[in-house]
Structure 1
Amino acid sequence: MGLLHTDGPSRPSPEQGAETRNCSAVVVTTGDPREPEVVQEIKIRGRTLTSSYEEEREALQEAAKWIETNTRAVDNKVMICTDSQSLVEAISNSSKDTENIRSSLNRAGAYTIIQWVPRHVSIPGNEMADKLANEAANSREEEPKMVSLSRAESCIKRTMKDGDPSHHRIAAVYSNHSRARDKKAIKTRKDAVLLARLRSGHCMASQRTRT
């Protein structure tokens, strides 16, 4: 059985005041897992804004592509080892963001097992993948990948916060405001906008109704 070990650690991001060094890696091995023989190493430079999940997914996607292209180089039975439990669950639940991984594996001729393994427990293949990922993080040979839309949106939501109301009337209205209650009661954005206008005392044009 061929064994592919993946790793995609995420380093500190710019908003945390540190240089970003994101990366992912795949180590393809054969033979005894205790003394594996390396078939190929794949290093992938990551994104400037990212998460461990995204980088782990990138590594597993590369592993799936390798299996699709090189099935005969290992065996008709392959195992991918990852230390990302959330990624394994996402694939098991057919999450939309793992669709490319599942498509590659479905096209491959090999019977593939995706196995979660705990990190830093002295599994040789995983240790090699971790070392390779660190090398990829420190490399400056490739430009970082483009930031994904979902990560950009997450960063914007986290950094862009509404300040306290400056107008005295609006401040008085929102002094006892409960975000939790609004979240439970308001079902649509249209209703949220209407409620905000009512609270702020903005004039609204009358709406015509059909008869």
Structure 2
Amino acid sequence: MIRPLGVRLRSVGLNREFHLPASPINSVYNSPYVVCSDSGSALHALEHPYSDDPGVQEVLASLGSLQLQGKSVYFVWVPGHVNIKGNHLADEAAKEAAITGLQIRNVPKGDMTVVYKSKVKGQWEQVWINISENKLREIKNSVDAWPTSFRNSRREEVVLARLRIGHCRATKGHLMGREAPPICGMCNQIVTIKHILMSCSLYAAHRRLHSLPISIQEMLGDNNDSIRNLFDFLKLVNLLDKI
């Protein structure tokens, strides 16, 4: 019973009636109002003033305000399947479901983790695809981890990461001192990762010796042979400690 609001429940023939002295907000009518519904469960929910259901709380709050205005609202249950064959079976099934609730099998935490990770990765992938003017994006088309990024040497991991993002001491050191970018003394070009690895004439013979790929995507991509040849090249020309 919703005693705090003065509601009472009584049987009226095939119907059930809930009574609350209340009135519609801003109504100019003085007659009682009757609300008919075929949802017995919804009407019974109004008997529980401390329900956590936001819909129930909203209705009860409105009715409480209306009660202060001295008018009445009647709730009448109108069965929707009276005299229909098999109706009692449907009612019994509905009552059982209302009592027992849905049987939801517990989902293992590991399974949910897989689903969440897949969802997050899909969103991340979409953002990554739409990124432009990013040196790592130029050589990496997905957010999947590259096995070649994990080296036996911490130094090699750092060097490879710097080469892939396009920033190293040899090419970006001037930014700290707000100086002009370094110029290659051999080619008279701005020193960049691409210039060092692909076009600087000083290292042309060494690049051919180690069969370095002709594109930066292949050279810095996730290919064990290419990465091994790259480090052999860097060691030979004494660039490993300058990256």
Bin for the TM-score computed over the shorter chain: under 0.3
TM (normalized to structure 1)? 0.25
TM (normalized to structure 2)? 0.22
Q: Which has the larger radius of gyration?
A: 2
Compare the two structures and name the one with the higher strand fraction: 1
